[in-house]
């Protein structure tokens, strides 16, 4: 997914956190680069690591809704689906004081019924273009970097993961990509900043 813009901006997104080990490592990378990112957090993970969630927001990043327990929302009935989004929205608000503004469906599983539920919350649904990088499968730092690099142009949205299992390859790949893209003049922005940046 790419947002049409004339500005040289890229939005890094991180799903499935917060994680007390890997999320802070990513925050360090973005602080050094003067960049911002968006974290699609799982509600029950926020309950386990509320301080990490607060640190993300305090450092100027954005938190998006990624449901409460990470189900395939197309397999839920309407009430269960609404509850997954609402519980997560409330936990984000109670933990950080800020309401999430966008949604990313777990597994990118999405259909018309899910769209109707998400519309009630007013969330834009956020995809990504570098799914082939498969960082969650630990395919190697070089694979993640090279596959992602090919997808980058102004307005690109990138997906990585800071939750579940060993995410050290992700951290290292992101460190390299952030260094590379900022040296090319890219500004690293949050999803909401990207959506507000001018259309072509
Ligand atoms: Zn996820």
In a domain, residue 188? The reply is yes
61 is catalytic: no
pLDDT confidence of residue 137: 94
Let me know if 86 is exposed, middle or buried by CB neighbors in 10 A (0-12, 13-18, 19+): middle
In a domain, residue 13? The reply is yes
pLDDT confidence of residue 124: 97
HSE (side-chain half, CA atoms, 13 Å) at 165: 8
Answer whether 160's CB lies under 8 Å from 13's CB. Answer: yes
pLDDT confidence of residue 1: 75
In a domain, residue 2? The reply is no
How far, in Å, CA of 184 to CA of 186, rounded? 6
Q: Find the 184 Cα to ligand 1 centroid distance in Å.
A: 29
Q: Find the 15 Cα to ligand 1 centroid distance in Å.
A: 5
In a domain, residue 3? The reply is no
pLDDT confidence of residue 74: 98
pLDDT confidence of residue 200: 47
3-state secondary structure (DSSP) of residue 128: coil
Residue 25: count other Cβ atoms within 10 Å of its Cβ.
17
Task: Kindly list the averaged pLDDT for each block of 10 residues, start to end, along the chain of length 200.
Answer: 87 98 98 98 98 98 98 98 98 98 97 97 96 95 98 96 95 98 98 83
pLDDT confidence of residue 2: 79
Domain boundaries, position 191: 9-196
Q: Find the 183 Cα to ligand 1 centroid distance in Å.
A: 29
pLDDT confidence of residue 199: 58
pLDDT confidence of residue 5: 86
In a domain, residue 170? The reply is yes
In a domain, residue 1? The reply is no
Assign residue 84 the CATH number of its domain.
Answer: 3.20.20.370
Catalytic residue among 61, 66, 70, 161: 161
Q: How many domains does the structure of the chain reveal?
A: 1
């Amino acid at each position: 997914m790419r947002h049409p813009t004339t500005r040289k901006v890229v939005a890094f997104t991180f799903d499935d956190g917060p994680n007390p080990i890997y999320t802070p490592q990513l925050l360090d990378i973005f602080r050094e680069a003067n960049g911002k990112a968006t974290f699609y957090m799982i509600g029950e993970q926020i309950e386990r690591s509320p301080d990490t969630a607060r640190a993300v927001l305090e450092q100027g990043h954005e938190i998006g809704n990624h449901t409460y327990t990470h189900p395939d929302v197309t397999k839920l009935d309407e009430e269960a689906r609404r509850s997954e989004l609402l519980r997560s929205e409330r936990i984000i608000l109670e933990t950080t004081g800020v309401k999430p503004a966008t949604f990313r469906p777990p597994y990118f599983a999405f259909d018309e019924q899910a769209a109707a539920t998400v519309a009630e919350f007013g969330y834009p649904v956020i995809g990504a273009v570098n799914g082939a990088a498969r960082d969650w499968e630990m395919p190697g730092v070089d694979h993640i970097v090279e596959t992602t690099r090919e997808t980058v142009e102004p307005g690109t949205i990138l997906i990585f993961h800071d939750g579940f299992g060993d995410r050290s390859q992700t951290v290292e790949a992101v460190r390299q990509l952030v260094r590379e893209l900022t040296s090319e003049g890219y500004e690293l922005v949050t999803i909401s900043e990207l959506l507000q940046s001018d259309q072509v």
